[in-house]
Amino acid sequence: MSRKKAAGSRRRGKRTCRKQRSISRKHKSRTPKAVYRHPLAAAMADLLKGLVPAAADKPRRGHTLLWTPLLLSLCAILMSWDPSPSLAARFEVAGLSLGNLLPGKDKGGTYQGWIKAMMRNGTLHQRLADRLRESIRQMATDAGCWLREGWCAFTADSSKFNCPRTQENETAFGCASKKGKCPGIPQQLLTLLWHMGTGLPWAWEAGVAKASEREQLLSMLPLLPVQALLVADAGFVGYELLKAIADSDRHFLIRVGANVSLIRKLGFFEEKDDTVYLWPSYDTRKNTWRKHKAPMVLRLIRIQEPGKKTVYLLSNVLDESRLSQRVAHLFYRLRWGVEVFFRSLKQTLDRRKLASAAPTQAKLELAWAVIGITVLGYLSVSAVLAEGKDPLSCSVALALATVRRCARCNAAGAGDLQTQLAAALKDSYIRTAPKASRNWPRRKRCKPPGRPRLRRATKAEIKMAQDLHRNSVVNQFTA
């Protein structure tokens, strides 16, 4: 073969190779690359969707870190799961976890910059709380656990959280103490509504140390679904509170004690054996009856367990077919779930005492602590419901250990998060002996509520009730 033909063949071969390489590169560019997304980041992003503005895609603007609402929320939730004693240490651990959850993005910044951005977005936790309520309702409706025994039942309770003893916290929150004792430390009172179908927090309200839990419950009353059943302990009693709940087209099941006086045989309503009346007492100052307040027709339910004191429950559900004694007993036993929730928040997540020395930051810390345990519970309950199990069987301690381990790993080493959370369940054994504990000297021993005071209506009360009933009927027809 001549040199000219050989050179031509080589050139043709080179051109052929270039063409083949260009085709192969073009083919590779069209093939989508494998995307490794962290399972915890995917689950939380689906839950927190709607918080990120469409224009904020880059993590930095110039030389300043851009804290988007999603990045702020993720960091706050990861900090609420971390057991470090200081906020700076929690922020550092949360930054390392964000590096695993969102690889390829700059997570630099300082705690001071993060808390300033969080304070600028002061209503972010409220928006996220609304988003969580919608997600919980949708998840429970799809899984069929929104109702229990035909009722959308909630329970209410309150607890106090300690704050650092700084001058600012003492001025903002105050120090609650018993009569005759020295002032205590600054505290925040948290009142919470807990959904009995899923075992998740529904709404909460925080206030100063001496705030009224009844007023906080009244402020959260519009957040309850219509025709819902509110179950509470003996602290949430009173004519004004129960009247407001009944007038809002909602129902209640409240335990009563010796501090409540009930009337029988008033003749104001078609009475049964369990019919009682709650009526404002006689005003000794003005020496007159409060005629503008009509008596509330209620039902007194007695629950007797072997070896225990009789529990007296007051309800405005008068029809026994709608709320039987068995169902009332079941709901009052399920009320203990909110007590376990506060124990998980204070002990398992170690938030009995907050770490913020300033009042504004202390309020945000408590709000995001509740949001953090709510997000943790939502992820666990959704995984448990996918396996067809009871959502009340979730274990907060095991779920917390699972998400902490998952946040420390990259996407490849995290594993199947949903399967791991579905296995985070409480012990299923049956206790054969009573759960006894040592008699700690500083433990608060509350005296259980006694028996409510029942008395027969007097002639004056019967006459006044008849006049009120007659006037209400006349006003109804003349309106």
Give the pLDDT score at 28: 43
Percent of the chain with pLDDT over 90: 57
Split at pLDDT 50, 70, 90, the class of 287 is: very low
Cα(451)–Cα(91) distance, integer angstroms: 51
Cα(356)–Cα(169) distance, integer angstroms: 9
For 200-238, what is each residue's pLDDT tens digit? Answer: 999 999 999 999 999 999 999 999 999 999 999 998 998
For 439-479, what is each residue's pLDDT tens digit? Answer: 666 666 677 888 999 999 888 888 888 877 776 644 443 44
Q: Which of 118-122, 300-304, 368-372 has the lowest mean pLDDT?
A: 118-122
Give the pLDDT score at 351: 94
Give the pLDDT score at 294: 83
174 and 210 Cβ atoms separated by less than 8 Å: yes
The residue to which tokens 């309702």 are assigned: 137
Give the pLDDT score at 479: 43
Give the pLDDT score at 14: 46
Q: Which of 32-41, 200-209, 262-271, 442-451 has the lowest mean pLDDT?
A: 32-41
Cα(327)–Cα(207) distance, integer angstroms: 33
Q: Which of 31-35, 280-284, 387-391 has the lowest mean pLDDT?
A: 31-35
More confident: 23 or 355: 355
Predicted structure pTM score: 0.85
Cα(461)–Cα(448) distance, integer angstroms: 31
295 pLDDT exceeds 60? yes
Give the pLDDT score at 19: 46
For 184, phi then psi, to 5°, come to -90, -150
Cα(174)–Cα(172) distance, integer angstroms: 6
Give the pLDDT score at 34: 33
217 and 236 Cβ atoms separated by less than 8 Å: yes
In this structure, what token pair is assigned to residue 471?
């006037």
Split at pLDDT 50, 70, 90, the class of 86 is: very high
In this structure, what token pair is assigned to residue 38?
């962290």
104 and 93 Cβ atoms separated by less than 8 Å: no
Residues in contact with 358: Cβ distance below 8 Å, sequence separation at least 6, in sequence order: 166, 168, 169
95 pLDDT exceeds 80? yes
Strand, coil or helix: what is 454?
Answer: strand
Q: Which of 43-47, 133-137, 379-383 has the lowest mean pLDDT?
A: 43-47
For 310, phi then psi, to 5°, come to -70, 135
Residues in contact with 214: Cβ distance below 8 Å, sequence separation at least 6, in sequence order: 235, 236, 238, 241
CA triple 198-202-203, angle to 5 deg: 165
Q: Which of 139-153, 221-235, 280-294 has the lowest mean pLDDT?
A: 280-294
Cα(317)–Cα(64) distance, integer angstroms: 59
Give the pLDDT score at 59: 46
Length of the chain: 479
Average pLDDT of span 405-418: 89
